[in-house]
Amino acid sequence: MEAPGRAEGFHALRHFYASALLDAGESIRALAEYIGHADPAFTLRVYTHLLPTSSERTRRAIDEVFRRKDAA
């Protein structure tokens, strides 16, 4: 059996992990530490396309404020 290639193997799992953390709002600095990058700027260059836009972050932040208010 042939070993999985970069797109299907550990590298893909690592990319999924980073994507999930960024989607949840984790910082680039923390992500760099978690995945072993010495330079957060490198992590930013690799994953910047996955960062939510400012308008997405704003919408999520306001939705969360109202969600908490409704739960109280």
Is pLDDT at 44 greater than 80 in this prediction? Answer: yes
pTM beyond 0.85: the answer is: no
User: Of 23, 21, 52, whose CA–CA distance to 37 is shortest?
Assistant: 21
pLDDT confidence band for 56 (50 / 70 / 90): confident
pLDDT confidence band for 2 (50 / 70 / 90): low
pLDDT digits (tens, 9 = 90+) for 10-41: 888 999 999 999 888 899 999 999 999 999 99
H or E, element range at 41: helix 40-47
